[in-house]
Structure 1
Amino acid sequence: MNKEDLMLKDELLLTLLNSSSSFHSGQDLASQLSVSRTAVWKALNELEKDGFLIDRAQSKGYKVARPQDTLHPKWLAYLFKKSKLDIIPYIYKQIDSTNTEAKRMSQNAELQGKNYLLVAEGQTAGRGRYGRSFFSPQSTGLYLTLSVPIKDPNLDAGLITSATAVAVRRAVLDVYGIDLWIKWVNDLYLNNRKVCGILCEGISNMETGLIDRVFIGIGINLMDPKDGIPDELKEIMGCLAPYQEGKDLKRTNFLVRLMEELIPLVSNAGQENFLDEYRKHCLLLDQEVCYAQNGKTIVGKVITINDHGHLILEKKDGDILELGYGEVTFHDTFTFPNER
C-alpha cells in the first residue's frame, strides 16, 4: 500500500471506532473522508486483512464488530484512551530488540516526558539479563518495552522489576485465568518452566545521578512455537498454552490489562503495597537456593523479600545475606509448588 492508502485506512478505522455502535453507509464514509466509495471499499478490505471484523449490513452500511487477535497501533491507542492510559503505542512485526529500539527512541524530542510502548511479534536479537539472548519466536509470544519518564525523585527504582512481575502476574490471571509464580527477581513460572522474563534498564541524569527514564522490557511466551521449543531450552522454557493454528491469543486484551496494572505500580513503586503479593507468590520462600559470590557458590535458605525488594538469605552457618541484585539458581533440594 502507498502512503495515501495507509493514511486513508487509519482515518477510516478511527471514524468507525469513534462511533463503533453505529453503522455508516459507504456514501457517508466517502463524504467524510473526501474519497470515492471504491477507495472506502478497498480500505475496508485492508482492515479485514489486518484482523478487524467489519459488520456489513445491506442498506445500513459498515461498522467495526471487534478486532480479532491483531496488533494495530490505532486500535491500541483507542483502547488506551478508553482506559485513561496516556501511552503512545508502536507495533512491529519483527525487530532486533524492543529495549534497544526504545532507548534509541528516547533521543526523539517529541517523546520527551511521555510514556511510549513498543510491541513486537518477534525479535531477532532479544536480550535478557547479563547480556544473554532471549528466544523470541515469531507470532506466539509478546515482546514489549514500556518506556516511562521518572518524575518522582524519591521513587525506589530498585522496586520497578518487582512491581512489573506483580503486574504481569495479575494481567495473566485476569485475561488467561492462569496463576503464575515469581522467581526473584525477574522471571515468572508456570509449574516448573519459565514463561516470562523481565529486563528493566534506565537512563541516568549525569548532574543529579538520578534515573530520568526507565525501559521495562517484558517477554512472555503465550503459546508453544509452531516449530517447537529448541532442544537446549526444553528443560527451561514454558508457554501459557500449546500451539494451535489460528488460536486467539487475546494479545490486545492482555496488553491493555497489563498497562492498567503496570503504569500505577511503576509510578508509585515503593509507595503502593504490592510486596506482600510478591512474597505470597514467590517461588523461593523457605527454599534452598544457590548464589554466586566472589567465584564461590553460596547455598542458603530464602527467608523473605524485604521492603526494598531485596532477597534475604540465611547461609548454612547462620549468617544472613541481603541481596539487592544478582541471580540465584535452584538448589538440588528445591521443589516447585506443583511438586510440593
Structure 2
Amino acid sequence: MPPTAAPYCHLLDVAGLSWGDLKLLLGTTEAARRILGSPTGRVDALKGVNVTTLFYEASTRTRISFENAAKALGANVNSVAVASSSVGKGESLVDTVKTLRALGSNVIVLRHERAGAPWLAARVFDGSVLNAGDGWHAHPTQALLDLSVLLRNIGAKDGTLKGRRVAIIGDLLHSRVVRSNLHTLRAAGAEVRLAGPAALTRGFAEAAERSGGVTLCASLAEALEGADAVMALRIQRERLDGGEVSSFEAYREAWGLTEERIAAHAARGCVVLHPGPMNEGVEIDPDVADGPRSLILEQVAEGIPVRMAALWRTLRGDAPLSAPAPAKASS
C-alpha cells in the first residue's frame, strides 16, 4: 500500500513552533538542498503520497515551489484550478476538501483569502494540511524561508540572529508575511523594527508592546538605523479600500527603499529582502531590488528546499530525510 499522511499532522502556523522546532526544519532544509544538488535532483521519499495544491488566490512562487518540492520528494502532484473547478459553481471549502480526500489526496496545500481557512480544512480533512497563506493572518513557509536566507547571510556564529537588527517596512496591516516573520525572527533572537504609514500599521504598536525586541518606528530612517537586513512589503493594491495611501508617489517619497536611504542609515553590508511580488518604484527601487544587496531571488530559490522540509516534517515527523548516496566514480 502507498504511504498515507499518518499521523495527519499539519503546518498551519509558525506561532506554535519553538526554536528547537525551527532548527529541526532548517536542518531538514539542508538535507533537501543536498537532494536538489544530487545528480537526479529527487528521491522517492514520498512515493505514493498524493499532494494537491488548492489556491483560492493567485500565486506564482508559493504554488510552483510547493509543487516542485513535492515532486523532488517523489510525491504525485495535482493542482486545482479554482476558477474552472466546482468552486466556481459555489462549492464550499469543506465540500471541496472532502472531495479531494475521496479522490485520494493525502496532502492539501491551501492558499485562501479568508483567515482561518486552513484550520477549517484541517478539521474535516483526513490527511495533512499545509497553510500556503490565509488572508492577512499567516504564511508559515514564507517565514521559514526568510529565516533560512537570513541565517545564511547575516547569522551569528551560534546559528541564531542574536545581535542582528531586521527592519520590515510597508503595508503591515494586510501582510500575513510580517505576522509569521515576527515569530520566527524573535525566536531566532533578532531585534525587529517595523515601519509604515500609520493607516497601514494599525494594531502593531500593541503587538510591539507585547513582544520584547519589537519596535514600531515613526519613520523609515528610524527603522533603518543600524539594520543588518531590511524587508520591503508589497503595497497590496487589491486589499486597499482607497483611504490608506494618498498616492503611490507619496508612498515612495516617504517609505520607498532607495540605495541612498539604505546607505545613509543601515549597517554596512545591509541586505534587502522582499517576499514578492514587487511594485518596483513604489516600495522598492529597481536598483535596490536588482542590486548587490538584494537576496530576493535567493528567497525565491529557497522556497523549494524549505517546502520540501515542511512536507517531510509534516508527514514523517522526526524521521531523517536522506539524500541519495553520491555516485561511485567509474574506474
**Does TM, normalized by the shorter one, top 0.5?**
no
What is the TM-score when the length of structure 2 is the normalising length?
A: 0.26
Q: Taking CA–CA contacts closer than 8 Å with sequence separation of 6 or more, which of the two structures ends up with the larger relative contact order? A: 2
Bigger fraction of residues in helix: 2
Which of structures 1 and 2 has the bigger CA Rg? 1
What is the TM-score when the length of structure 1 is the normalising length?
A: 0.25
